[in-house]
Amino acid sequence: RKEVEQDPGPFNVPEGATVAFNCTYSNSASQSFFWYRQDCRKEPKLLMSVYSSGNEDGRFTAQLNRASQYISLLIRDSKLSDSATYLCVVNPKGPEYGNKLVFGAGTILRVKS
Amino acid sequence: DTGVSQDPRHKITKRGQNVTFRCDPISEHNRLYWYRQTLGQGPEFLTYFQNEAQLEKSRLLSDRFSAERPKGSFSTLEIQRTEQGDSAMYLCASSSGWGTHEQYFGPGTRLTVT
């Protein structure tokens, strides 16, 4: 079983749609969780950290369910510029171990006009 | 630009040659990471430095790979006797030693071994 699993998609949605991505992780001791965005042939860019209480940043909402080892990302009012690969990322050990990140393979989002 | 920088951005080499990549982290970050990414996959961890100390190495890092961070600032990743399977994007990231330890990535070095 992979440490971080995501539906690869692609998700093809019209502008203005709401879309949700899910991710599961295998290590119950994982400490930190993130969503990164990666455009084609570019580096991953941090989109948002994910907190236990859930958090929102504009049109983006991230939630964490530790009991189910499940992370989600909701994008409201999709824009053409949201088209990218969304990477679910987990720090499987605590900060004292150096913060190696484990990435999922990514979910492709295509927003069409 | 105060972000992470990497050099070169692209490298084409013949099988068997040695290559070296450089990473300059964000200046106040004491942690530096190397990852490798192949098409259709997420980045995979290779190694990690805190200041000049290399504290963790992945089993992906064979003995042909070596990384250094001699003064705790920039880092180099060397691949000896390159193989076609080494073709990938090599990404460097840095983070501070406190807070949520978010990592910020450089633009990567795309290696093609022919």
Q: Which of A45, A56, A50, A30 is nearest to A86 (CA)?
A: A45
Query: Is the Cβ pair A95, B42 closer than 8 Å?
Result: no
pLDDT for A53: 84
3-state secondary structure of A3: coil
Q: Which residues of A touch B35 (CB under 8 A)?
A: 101
Q: For A61-75, how does the pLDDT look when each residue is reduced to its tens digit (9 = 90+)?
A: 999 999 999 999 999
Closest-CA residue of B relative to A39 is: B107
Closest CA of chain A from B77, distance in Å: 17
Query: Is the Cβ pair A101, B31 closer than 8 Å?
Result: no
Mean pLDDT of A27-41: 91
Closest CA of chain A from B75, distance in Å: 17
CA distance readout (Å), A64 to A3, B21, B55, B56: 16, 37, 29, 28
Q: Tell me: pLDDT of A89 over 90.
A: yes
Closest CA of chain B from A72, distance in Å: 17
pLDDT for B96: 86
Q: For B5-16, how does the pLDDT look when each residue is reduced to its tens digit (9 = 90+)?
A: 999 999 999 999
Query: Is the Cβ pair A4, B43 closer than 8 Å?
Result: no
Q: Which of A91, A3, A42, A110 is nearest to B37 (CA)?
A: A42
> Can you name the residues that pair with A5 across neighbouring β-strands?
A24
